[in-house]
Structure 1
Amino acid sequence: MLRRILVLVGVVAVLGFGAYWWLTEPPARLAVSEPFVTPNPVHGEVIFDAGGCASCHAVPNQPDRLKLGGGLAIPSPFGTFYAPNISPDRADGIGGWSENDFVNAVKRGISPEGTHYFPAFPYTSYAHATVQDVRDLFAYLKTLAPVSGRSPDHDLPFPFDIRRNVGIWKLLFMDDSLFVPNQSRPTQWNRGAYLVNTFGHCAECHSPRNLLGGIRAAQRFAGGPDPDGKGFVPNITQKGELAQWSEKDIDYFLETGQTPDGDNAGGAMARVIRNTSQLSSDDRAAIANYVKSLPPVEGPPRPKKKEAKDQ
């Protein structure tokens, strides 16, 4: 009897491990569909600015936002991630990557070695972008100066440090469908929708997340606690403070970082503004047009401010 039980346990363990291995398998690599179309680095710069790549990948505490040596610490409830070097350096950056490597990293969240990237890299948004735009971005990155030096390893506790587990996370929360324009909306709105929901990845910060780190779809763009635990990301639907802003206010904020009441963007948003300020006025206006159209959604309640103690 004991032998039968042990055999049964062994079979169940093997089947369970097999199921785990199958479920966590990285997705099939995406082939570059239009290799005959020459990438455009000039347009790639637009994608770079829309994506705010420098916000995370620029070397911290130095003025050159195009010095993409990485190293920025990104705190989260699952541990601390460090933005990698994405400069053209062949040893420490992505200088040795092929175009196909880059497309699959950005749109599938898989490394050239075939392992999962952690979703601190917002590929869940980039997945909706066109392959050609990603190719243009890669072409632009190759025009920048290489930067030597590797970022620290991510500081994640078990089991969050196991990349294989990200495969299950992707099954639960990743939608890799391409952005589809809404034919009932004007061109400007669709351009804004594309930038916000793909490279702009606005929902990645401006949405609350569940216990597994997936965006709560019903509260998309409705704000929530900052992942670093030091603040609250605002609701940018028409239920939040942006309900009082005009499209011109949003456009001006994306250009200057200044709010209608004269305040200035701070923290991570200040880094974002360094990038959106480089966009064309048409693209900023398109983003503003789309954001202003977001229907009102009630977000998580903001924590009450602690009363100052008597001195």
Structure 2
Amino acid sequence: MAARGVLVALGAVVLLAGAAYALTSPTRLEPEAIAAEGSGDAVRGERLFHAGGCASCHAPAEGQGDGPVALAGGPPLVTKFGTFHAPNISPDPQAGIGAWSLADFANAMQRGVGPNGEPLYPAFPYTSYARMTPGDVADLHAYLLTLPASDVVAPAHELSFPFNIRRGVGLWQRVFLDPKPVVALPADAPELVKRGQYLVEGPGHCGECHTPRSLGGLGGLDDARWLAGGPAPEGDGNIPNITPGGAVADWSQSDLVNYFETGFTPDFDSVGGSMVAVQNNLARLPPEDREAIAAYLKAIPAVASAGEGN
């Protein structure tokens, strides 16, 4: 009887271990959700590169200028979970993504899964990129491969326990990775607003900074307070509420468009802080994209500011 009890206990342990393994395993895209290898257009991809602000995280601050930059990894991101270092995403085949297939890239972008099956930390905003179309992902991939290669290997993340257990990120993804739109727009919403939703909720990943986090500090976005502002990810100051109930409530749609293009507010103040890099990227977009983003921000529900100072 004792031996039988031991076997039952061992069986239970095996079952629990199997369940834990399954729950923490990241989920890859279905093959039909990935564009054909080599189908991306680098010219279109440059537009997405600026919409996503890729250089802001993946290029050294001193290396950014008007010309192409080597995306060898940018400044460290210091958070309460630890310090994250953006990886090299240049075309170098060893240090960067030069040896990645489009499927590798798409799974990293939209499912947070590395080429070797490892879950990626959500400091990389794949929860937003999950809303991108396969064609846009392919275009961005094609553009990145045209940029200068760098053999610089980015430093490893510096995370404390238990956040250094990468396997746990797979469970986090099951809770927070949802490719559905955040805002339920009416079916007859103008196409300009729908385009703005795609840019803001997808490649632009605006909610990653402008939306407060939920569920006991686990790092997921509180979609019920979408774009309502909150503490800065680095823990210094607040990110403003950009819904019609926040800091830009009195701004017109044209005020927003002008701010995106020039960096000047309606009262002639100028952009500052981490928004400087964002505005520089917005200024590189076609005028119709800036119009679309502004139209969406004026169309979404007004939400009260999530914290003081927003």
TM-score after normalising by structure 2:
0.91
* Inter-partner Cα distance in structure 1 for 2:39 and 2:113: 24
d(CA) in 1 for partners of 2:188 and 2:278?
A: 30
**Equivalent residues in 2 for 1:92-241, closer than 5 Å:** 92-177=95-180, 183-210=187-214, 211-241=217-247
Report the alpha carbon displacement of residue 133 of structure 1 after superposing the two structures with TM. Answer: 0.3
Q: Cα–Cα, structure 1 residues 89 and 198, in superposed 2: closer, same or farther, change >3 Å? A: same
Distance (whole Å) between structure 2 residues aligned to residue 112 and residue 241 of structure 1: 41
The amino acid across from 1:250 in the alignment is L
Taking a change above 3 Å as real, the CA distance of residues 176 and 301 of structure 1, as seen in their structure-2 partners, is closer
Asked whether the 8 Å contact 1:182–1:190 carries over to 2, the reply is: no
Tell me, in whole angstroms, the C-alpha distance in 2 between the residues paired with 1:5 and 1:119.
42
CA distance in 2, matches of 1:44, 1:252: 24
Matches within 5 A, 1:291-302: 291-302=297-308
> Any unmatched runs of 5+ in structure 2?
none
CA offset at residue 66 of structure 1?
Answer: 2.5
Q: Is the 8 A contact 1:52 1:275 kept in 2?
A: yes
Structure 1 runs, 4 residues or longer, greater than 6 Å off: 1-5, 178-181
Figure out how many residues of one structure are paired with residues of the other and give that number.
304
Work out the percentage of aligned pairs sharing the same amino acid. Answer: 45
Tell me how far 1:28 sits from its aligned partner: 3.0
Q: CA deviation at 1:245?
A: 0.8
Q: CA deviation at 1:37?
A: 8.0
Shift of 1:182: 5.4
Structure 1: 5+ residue stretches without partners: 305-311
- The residue type paired with residue 136 of structure 2 is D
Distance 2:7 2:43 in 1: 63
How far 1:61 moved relative to its partner? 2.6
In 2: Cα distance, 1:273 partner to 1:58 partner: 16
What amino acid maps onto 1:247 in structure 2?
Q
Query: In the TM superposition, what is the alpha-carbon distance from 1:34 to its structure 2 partner?
Result: 4.1
- Provide the alpha-carbon RMSD of the alignment: 2.2
Bigger shift: 221-230 or 37-46? 37-46
Are the structure 2 counterparts of residues 4 and 83 from structure 1 closer, same or farther at C-alpha, using a change threshold of 3 Å?
Answer: same
Give the C-alpha shift of residue 260 in structure 1. Answer: 1.7
After superposition, the C-alpha distances for 1:256-300 in whole angstroms (9 at most, x for unaligned) are 222222222222211111211100111101101111112111232
> Which piece of structure 1 moves more, 71-80 or 197-206?
71-80
